[in-house]
Amino acid sequence: MDEKLNDLYRDILMDHYKYPRGNKNLDNFDLENEGYNPACGDDIHLKIRLDGGKIDDISVDCIGCAISVASGSMLADIVRGKSLEEVIKIAKAVKAMLKGEKLSEDINLGDLEALKGVSKFPVRIKCALLSWTTIIDALEARQAGQKAEISRTE
């Protein structure tokens, strides 16, 4: 059993769950979005500060299971200093990986590969998806000059 369990709760993932990055209150921010998973009550709140076309800082406030907390923490870790386009591209690649879809060749997800094990637990995929869906919605709304609606994964 431990092997299967460890496939889901990889060491990197557990580290993010125990010590979530981005878990702070960002005072000055340019955009925010909330993600909600009605099926289990997981709730995530992202605040993003921009510097030019790039993400300067992010805070991730996530109430949920280990998978959703770790996934949100990994997101916080990776987006700083990247352009909106880059982040959207990575987030879409992570979503594809979680859903077991084929990745485009040119993306190296690095530590985010640790989330791959989640795809073997169909009922837990939505937990990992929440933060990535929420940031895509936030950034795409920004690009379109709108405010994001609350994101949902079901």
Q: What does the binding site for other proteins look like in residue numbers (CB under 8 A)?
A: 1-2, 4-5, 8-9, 14, 17-18, 38-43, 63-67, 121, 124, 127
Nearest distance, CB of residue 119 and other proteins, angstroms: 14
| Residue 65 or 141 with smaller CB distance to other proteins | 65
| Residue 12 or 14 with smaller CB distance to other proteins | 14
Nearest distance, CB of residue 123 and other proteins, angstroms: 8
Nearest distance, CB of residue 11 and other proteins, angstroms: 11
Please state whether beta strands 42-51 and 54-63 pair in parallel, antiparallel, or not at all (unpaired).
Answer: antiparallel
List strand residue ranges (DSSP E) for the chain, in order: 31-37, 42-51, 54-63, 151-152
d(CA 11, CA 25): 26
Closest CA to 33 of 61, 65, 63, 75: 61
| Residue 63 or 103 with smaller CB distance to other proteins | 63
| Residue 15 or 140 with smaller CB distance to other proteins | 15
| Residue where the block lists tokens 């996934």 | 71
Nearest distance, CB of residue 124 and other proteins, angstroms: 7
What 3-state class would DSSP assign to 149?
Answer: coil
| Residue 10 or 57 with smaller CB distance to other proteins | 10
Tokens of 111: 């530590």
Nearest distance, CB of residue 68 and other proteins, angstroms: 8
Tokens of 28: 């000055």
Phi, psi of 138 (to 5 degrees): -65, -45
